[in-house]
Structure 1
Amino acid sequence: MGSTWLVRADSGGRLAPEFKSRAIVAIGWIEAGNTLDLVTREDFSQRMADAYPEDSKPKQRSAAGQVFRFVREVQVGDRVVTYDSARRIYLVGRIASAARYDATLFEGEFPTYRQIEWLHEVARDDLTVKAKNSLGSTLTLFKVSAEIYREFEALMGGAQPQQASEEDEGLEEEDLLQDLQARSLEFIKDRVSKLDWEQMQDLTAGLLRAMGYKTRVSPSGPDRGKDIVASPDGFGFEQPRIIVEVKHRRGQMGTQEVRGFLAVIRHPGDKGLYVSTGGFSREAYYEAERANNPITLMDLDDLVEAILEHYEAMDLETRVLLPLKRVYWPA
């Protein structure tokens, strides 16, 4: 049966009508030039590194992998799908040629192409939510699973679209949203974990400022347990005054570390915030609960949750440490 590939027709599927009329699919990466003489994945990786030195290593590897697949892995006779977003239609066809190169194609923007025998069109609205989700990758080229292609085959054969109830569609969309949120949260935590200690201290101070406090950040060096002092006036004269300790390491903080932090919270009205990206032991939480002064232990999950809640109020200096993009989802 061969494989099925989705080849994206540029952003928003703008080239889909051209793909159809010219009976082709094409990919870009014009700076890489003619890659038809390259053989191994390593060859493609080196070409991308040379052509796009300003890109990150992961981005170079992703580009190399997609071009390698288009030139070397895709076979004549394989099935191909591309999406025309203006008509909300998937074009379905068959690969009819080996990879070719034309530096003038699409004004040179998409020079590497394959001839296609277009066979059918399938409306996106006729697909299940699961299929729509699987076809939503932003990659230029990726493999479509056999299960999803069977949906295309059934619809091309005249089968009636599976009419899912609004409740079922809502549940599938909710599952997808929760998966997206969970992945996003982990990516944000990964980014926070890569900050160095000073950046983590500045991020925590920025969070407190977004919550309405003014902060004093201790300079590098011995700080006697006070990394940040937050208060309404910025001097620590007005209550509440929050003494903050920031630990940015993999290991958990235990009882001894919490006791050491409590020792610097001397004034009756002071409160403590202990931030540890490595988390805390169960005994540490118990020690904090029995302290005379109120103290909050904040692990990485708590920190990121608070950042997301107050991100819109953060100043530019803090946002630079952790740049985030807003993603909209149908209500």
Structure 2
Amino acid sequence: MANDEKKIWGIHTYDDALFLKGSVIAIGWSEMGNLSDIEANREAFKEKYAQVYPDTKKRSVSNAAGMLYRFLYEAQIGDYVVFPSKSNREVNIGVIEGEYVYDSSQQEYVQTRKVKWLKHLPRMAFSQGALYEIGSALTFFAVKNYADEFLAALDKNFKKNDSAEDEDESVGPTADDIIESTKDFILKELSRQLKGYDLEGFVADLLRAMGYRTIVSPKGGDSGIDITAYKDELPPRILVQVKSQDGDIKETTIQSLKGAMREGDYGLFVTLSNYTKNAQKYLDNTPIIRGINGTELVELILKYYEDLSEKYRKMIPLKKVFIPGAKEE
């Protein structure tokens, strides 16, 4: 079978020694038992997973059951596997040599397949984009975008650091992917965890982190004003309306905020979604009201994240790291 007909799989583990010394790849979910006993279709795997782990959310059931099904039925003998080991920071490339085996002697990694390791290369031998792809959050996944790079590494003429002298062109796009993924995560968590009044409390805390004093209106009787904010002890006051709805904000909704404002007030409208064209035009023509959409809100969260209350930092857990960026011309 030609290389281009073989799939390339990525896999992660907490037990590097099991993989490297035992010449296997394996995944957990030991409570699922022998996967061969489950009917050979994805729906059956989902049903079984939901029975074994009843508290798992629907999307997580689909992801986990999909990985188990993929490991047993989609991965074929002759396919390649890429395993980044943490203990020695190497990228290990092998070929699957055996069918699925349920190994009850293992405590956790009971779902196994035999593999022959072909090469063990330092991470620096690969582009940043390739490393990012095999850094997937999934346990078992298909490698697609940088498959050719990993296949090239199997060539006998491959040099471990053959790209070290050249600038890695994947650095910029990879950094952008990481940033965009982080922004998507923040917006999804806001939408999932902070509906209605809960989002008002979060926006008030963000404004506090930005240096404003805030008063959250009592539930129910706010006349369209969710938060009142002041920069200092003196006017002007800023009247804030917050919407967690999925649809774009219409012009009439912003006009209701304008109607609640007195002379000298400023308005702030915050939404997780966006504004219709007419609403955006209204905002452009009404400079005393500032509109913040979901994308702009995420930018502010990233900027002031460290000053948010611990409650919200736990709700949206982020770790500050340095990532490589493309060099400026």
TM-score, normalised on structure 2? 0.84
C-alpha spacing 1:131/1:239, structure 2 compared with 1 (3 Å): same
C-alpha spacing 1:97/1:287, structure 2 compared with 1 (3 Å): closer
Aligned residues: 315
C-alpha spacing 1:160/1:315, structure 2 compared with 1 (3 Å): closer
| Residue 326 of structure 1: aligned partner | 319
SS at match of 2:170: helix
| Residue 115 of structure 1: aligned partner | 114
Given residue 18 of structure 2, which amino acid in structure 1 is its aligned partner? Answer: E
CA contact (8 A) 2:8 2:143 kept: yes
| Residue 327 of structure 2: aligned partner | none
- After the TM superposition, which of the residue ranges 208-217 and 198-207 deviates more from structure 2? 208-217
| Residue 158 of structure 1: aligned partner | 157
CA contact (8 A) 1:252 1:281 kept: yes
| Residue 16 of structure 1: aligned partner | 16
| Residue 307 of structure 1: aligned partner | 301
- Structure 1 residue 290: Cα displacement: 5.2
Q: Percent identity?
A: 30
- Structure 1 residue 16: Cα displacement: 2.9
- Structure 1 residue 243: Cα displacement: 1.4
The reply to whether residue 253 of structure 1 matches residue 250 of structure 2 is: yes
- Structure 1 residue 258: Cα displacement: 3.5
C-alpha spacing 1:278/1:330, structure 2 compared with 1 (3 Å): closer
- Structure 1 residue 177: Cα displacement: 0.9
| Residue 105 of structure 2: aligned partner | 104
- Structure 1 residue 181: Cα displacement: 0.8
Q: In structure 1, how many angstroms separate the alpha carbons of the residues matched to 2:82 and 2:191?
A: 39
C-alpha spacing 1:70/1:310, structure 2 compared with 1 (3 Å): same
C-alpha spacing 1:112/1:312, structure 2 compared with 1 (3 Å): same
CA RMSD of aligned residues (A): 2.7
| Residue 227 of structure 1: aligned partner | 226
Which one has the largest radius of gyration?
Answer: 1
| Residue 30 of structure 1: aligned partner | 30
C-alpha spacing 1:187/1:23, structure 2 compared with 1 (3 Å): closer
SS at match of 1:263: helix
- Structure 2: 5+ residue runs without aligned partners? 325-329
CA contact (8 A) 1:16 1:83 kept: no
- Structure 1 residue 110: Cα displacement: 0.8
Q: In structure 2, how many angstroms separate the alpha carbons of the residues matched to 1:30 and 1:103?
A: 9
Q: In structure 2, how many angstroms separate the alpha carbons of the residues matched to 1:164 and 1:149?
A: 13
| Residue 316 of structure 1: aligned partner | 310
**Equivalence map 1:114-193=2 (5 Å):** 114-145=113-144, 146-154=147-155, 157-161=156-160, 163-164=162-163, 168-169=167-168, 171-193=169-191
